[in-house]
Amino acid sequence: MPGFGAGWPSSAAQAAYPPPFWRSLTYFNVYRLAVGAALLGAVLLLGDNLVLASVDRRLYLGAAVAYLVSAAAFVAMIQGGWVRFTVQLAFQVAADVVFITLMIHASGGMRSALGLLLLPTLAAAGLIGRGRLALFFASLASMAVLAETAYSVVADQRSSADFFPTGLLCVGYFATAWLAHTLARRVVESEELARQQEMRLASMAQINQLVIQDLHDGVLVLDENGRILQRNSQAERLLGLESHTEAPVSVNQLLPVLGERFRQWQENPETRFDLLRVSATNRLVRTRFVPIKGGAQGGAVLFLEDMSRIQSQAQQLKLAALGRLTANIAHEIRNPLSAISHAAELLLEERGLNPTQRRLLSIVRDNTQRLERMVKEVLQLNRRDRANVEVFKPEPFLRTFVEEFCHGQRVPQETFVVEVGTDRTVCFDRGHLNQVLWNLCSNAWRYCRKAPGSIRLRVVNGVTPNQVCLDVIDDGPGIDPKLRAQLFEPFFTTAPTGTGLGLFIAREICDAKGATLDCLDSDGGAHFRVVCRRDHVKAQRASDAIQR
């Protein structure tokens, strides 16, 4: 016989009754086996010293053996799942009523007290069967014992006074059945309430997860030991976590600095922390702990505020009006600039000009060309959203770009080194990416040592499977940390002939394409990184979100 709890029915027989009901039915049959063995063993071992089997020993032994065999057979049927639950329960109760009634008759009626054995049977049937048919089983047992008493009275084996204890026993049957029915109904109601509460909790958990996932800030739910119970995709993006990392994982394992901040906050909830630069993603985040379970020792919700995004939004608001103003100014001064430049060119062609006059005209021409270049860049900035997004391999694109750049800027081609460490594709507008890299490489060439390998173009995987990083690294003097915060502001330049719009326009182009452009920390030289997306749909969604 297989072990109890193994091999529960998995067919339609189990559909309305889950495994706990079948397990209870098995335990009920174990009880029946024990009772049958006790009734049979008592007669075989003690013999005539008992009231049992005092009237008809053969009938008693036959009923006891049949009772024991039926209990074993029903256990096998439960394990096999051959018969439906309600049918098996009805057969088992009927078997108890028949065999116990026969043993009552063989033992001289109610004085044997065997009728009390039907009380546990009725109670178990009512509870296991959710109260269904409980009163029917009580009626069946009552009719059986009344019929046995009536038969014995008619056969002159007992007096009519035996009807009184039989009647009391029948009342006990119905009382037990009614009590079992009431308890079973309450159990069913409790189960239904628990099921509804479980559904509500699951729904609330799903709603909470959806809300957390929709937040712009990163969210980490931590227990009192710093284990991550829940997190959203924004937190994974800010911290550079893998989305398939299973929780709970200690925050100290993923990012020790956050684990240390959590420990400090637990010791003093009033602690205020500085902005945190995440090395894995180069993101600047603000950390904020909110206690749960009534105090700092009961865990916390850690909010990670993307300061880069906030600074970018503030910058966009600040530059919106400036962009419209400069565009209007550019349109207004373009024609006068062209006239001044043309006039200066004509004057330079005149003969008889002394060197001083030619030098002054050259100054006018050079500065008008610089202003025209600035006007052109401003007008290009207003047309940055016109894109033809493509998905392409970065290595052939970079090889072609290096050839074009070296030819156009008269730069030795051995100055560049192209390193491609990934087979991922890039999703970007080729022309716009060419414009971004042209600006970055122009700056790199201006400040590098002009030696072979001074400028490195490197392609590596991003922190997520949907990111590709394009790095432009030079061996120049690097960027002053004090000036880094102003690098991408419009009209900021340290070059006497620069317009101060190159890096600003490059970042605006990247933002419009769902990419990012940042200046990273470097031991020597400047290090700029463009983080592109490899998926066209996600890149387009990011671009649309930024444009809105």
- Tell whether 1 is covered by a domain: no
Task: Looking at the structure, tell me whether residues 113 and 183 fall in a common domain.
Answer: yes
**How many CB atoms are located within 10 Å of the residue 214 CB?**
10
100 and 38 share one domain: yes
The torsion angles phi and psi of 249, rounded to 5 degrees, stand at: -125, 140
Note whether 174 and 245 are same-domain residues: no
| 288, 307, 326 - which closes a domain | 307
Q: What is the CATH number of the domain that holds 434?
A: 3.30.565.10
The rounded percent of the chain whose pLDDT value lies above 70 is: 82
Q: Is residue 361 assigned to a domain? A: no
pLDDT at residue 11, as a whole number:
47
Regarding whether 467 and 395 lie in a shared domain, the answer is: yes
Q: How far apart are CA 533 and CA 468, in angstroms?
A: 6
User: Domain check: are 90 and 140 in the same one?
Assistant: yes
For 73-114, what is each residue's pLDDT tens digit? 887 777 766 677 778 788 888 888 888 888 888 888 777 888
Degrees to nearest 5, angle at CA 431 with 425 and 433:
55
Inform me whether the pLDDT recorded for 241 exceeds 60.
Answer: yes
pLDDT confidence of residue 4: 40
Tell me: pLDDT of 312 over 70.
Answer: no
What is the phi/psi pair of residue 453, to 5°? 80, 15
Return the pLDDT at 231: 84
Task: Give me the DSSP letters along 370-435.
Answer: HHHHHHHHHHHHHTTT---EEEE-HHHHHHHHHHHHHHHHT--GGGEEEEE-----EEEEHHHHHH
Residue 43 is assigned to a structural domain of this protein: yes
Which stretch, 15-24, 304-313, 359-368, has highest mean pLDDT?
359-368
Cα gap 275→186, rounded to integer Å: 57
Highest mean pLDDT among 38-47, 91-100, 439-448, 518-527: 439-448
| Mean pLDDT value across residues 510-531 | 86
At 340-367, the pLDDT tens digits run 877 878 777 777 778 888 788 788 887 7
Residue 475 confidence (pLDDT):
92
Which pLDDT does position 320 carry in this prediction?
64
- Residue 120 pLDDT: 85
Least confident span in 106-110, 194-198, 224-228, 378-382? 378-382
Mean pLDDT comparison of 119-123, 297-301, 328-332, 406-410, highest-scoring range? 406-410
Q: Is the peptide bond before 248 cis (omega within 30 degrees of 0)?
A: yes
Residue span of the structural domain in which 188 resides: 12-195
Question: Model-level pTM greater than 0.85?
Answer: no
DSSP, residue by residue, 435-460: HHHHHHHHHHHHHS--STT-EEEEEE
Q: Are 100 and 153 in contact (CB under 8 A)?
A: no
Q: Is the pLDDT of residue 539 over 70?
A: no
Quick one: 191 and 230 in the same domain?
Answer: no
Q: Is the pLDDT of residue 533 over 90?
A: no
Verify that 111 and 219 share a domain, yes or no. Answer: no
Q: In the predicted model, is pLDDT for residue 3 greater than 50?
A: no
Q: How confident is the model at residue 501 (pLDDT cuts 50, 70, 90)?
A: confident
Please compute the mean of the pLDDT values over residues 58-71 and round it to a whole number: 87
On whether both 166 and 220 belong to a single domain, the answer is no
Residues 75 and 120 in one domain: yes
Number of domains in the chain: 3
196 or 127: which leads in pLDDT? 196
CATH number at residue 273: 3.30.450.20
Residue 137 included in any domain: yes
**In a domain? residue 203:** no
Res. 14: pLDDT tops 50:
no
pLDDT of res. 536:
55
Contact by Cβ (8 Å): 76, 1 = yes
Q: Tell me the pLDDT band of 474, cut-offs 50, 70 and 90.
A: very high
Q: Do residues 491 and 532 both lie within one domain? A: yes
pLDDT at 35 (0 to 100): 86
Residues 497 and 405 in one domain: yes
Residue partners of 117: CB distance under 8 A and separation at least 6: 35, 96, 100
pLDDT recorded at residue 514: 79
Cβ neighbours of residue 211 under 8 Å, at least 6 residues apart?
Answer: none
Q: Are 531 and 539 in contact (CB under 8 A)?
A: no
Claim to verify: residue 410 and residue 473 sit in the same structural domain: yes
Q: What is the mean pLDDT of the chain?
A: 79
pLDDT at 397 over 90: yes
| Residue 327 placed within a domain | no
Q: What is the pLDDT of residue 471?
A: 94
User: Is the confidence at residue 43, as pLDDT, over 70?
Assistant: yes
pLDDT value for 13: 45
- Give the domain-ending residue among 286, 307, 328: 307
Domain end point (choices 265, 292, 307): 307
